[in-house]
Amino acid sequence: TPGWIFNTNSTSYITLPTNAINSNADFTLNFWNTITANPSTTTITLLGSSVSTGYLQIRYNAGAIDIVRSFQVDLGSFTGFTASQNSTYYITVSRSATTLYLYVNGVYISQQGVSGTFTTTTPALGTNYINYASENMIGTIYNFSYYYQVL
């Protein structure tokens, strides 16, 4: 369901319905995003979980987009893209089998392998964990869509 979130102080986020995102199966998610903090010096979560660890976390870190099994293991960064402060991007992440694909503004950027099982409860936009505000979103996420298939 398209929607939007606006965070200027890194304390707001949107919790999605329990099990709304199954990060262990094929999917596609996309959204528009503007970052008002510096993504080269601030870790900024786009997708995470509001209450659990082990969830698929998609975040800006050192300007790149990272894939993390939250509070368990960093799975790697997508190469070929560096985010800039106050820029707007249309981000698409798709999973097919054990590979995640990143598209920015409709252009394929790179892929990243994933392994292990992700927790699927309590997905959230703009936070990695309700009590871990240092990685919360500072900026906007809007027109978020999720599909249970690769598009």
Instruction: Name the average pLDDT for the chain.
Output: 87
Average pLDDT over residues 40-55: 86
pLDDT average, residue stretch 136-144: 85
- Does residue 1 have a pLDDT over 50? no
One DSSP character per residue, 46-103 reads EEEESS-SSBEEEEEETTEEEEEETTTEEEEEESS----TT-EEEEEEEEETTEEEEE
| 121 pLDDT more than 90 | no
pLDDT digits (tens, 9 = 90+) for 53-68: 889 999 999 999 999 9
pTM: 0.90
- For residue 104, the model assigns a pLDDT of 97
Enter the DSSP assignment of 79.
Answer: S
Q: Which band of pLDDT confidence, cut at 50, 70 and 90, is reported for residue 3?
A: low
Q: Which of 33-37, 62-66, 129-133, 138-142 has the lowest mean pLDDT?
A: 129-133
How far apart are alpha carbons 46 and 13 in whole angstroms? 10
